[in-house]
Amino acid sequence: MAEAHFLKKARALRRFRSWSLAEGWSYLLLLFVAMPLKYGANWPLGVQVAGWIHGALFVIYLILGLYTAIFLRWKLARVASAVLAALLPFGPFVLDRVLKREEKELRAGT
């Protein structure tokens, strides 16, 4: 019974990690592809599309982050670090390393 609870937590963490990485990639695409195209090649459509996609992924990230934080009973500092990670370029990838380790521990049942 306890093993099933650990697996549910691991699945919730995996789901959050997946969306976190998608949000991180969309942010990098926006910053390093769409923005240079807008200002360097006078092509604003890239920012409109990438910005919309990133915005949607960011909202999903926040909602899923809140769910994960409640389900895993994260402390406020952990929640704040997850929000901060979403605001920084490459932040979700750094956060993913930490969450991946935690997910591995949950799958091991510790």
pTM of the model: 0.91
The pLDDT tens digits along the chain (110 residues) read: 567 888 999 999 999 999 999 999 999 999 999 999 999 999 999 999 999 999 999 999 999 999 999 999 999 999 999 999 999 999 999 999 999 999 999 888 76
| Residue spans per domain, the chain | 2-108
Rounded CA separation 103/24 (Å): 19
> Cβ(3)–Cβ(106) under 8 Å?
no
On the CB side of 29, how many CA atoms lie within 13 Å of its CA? 17
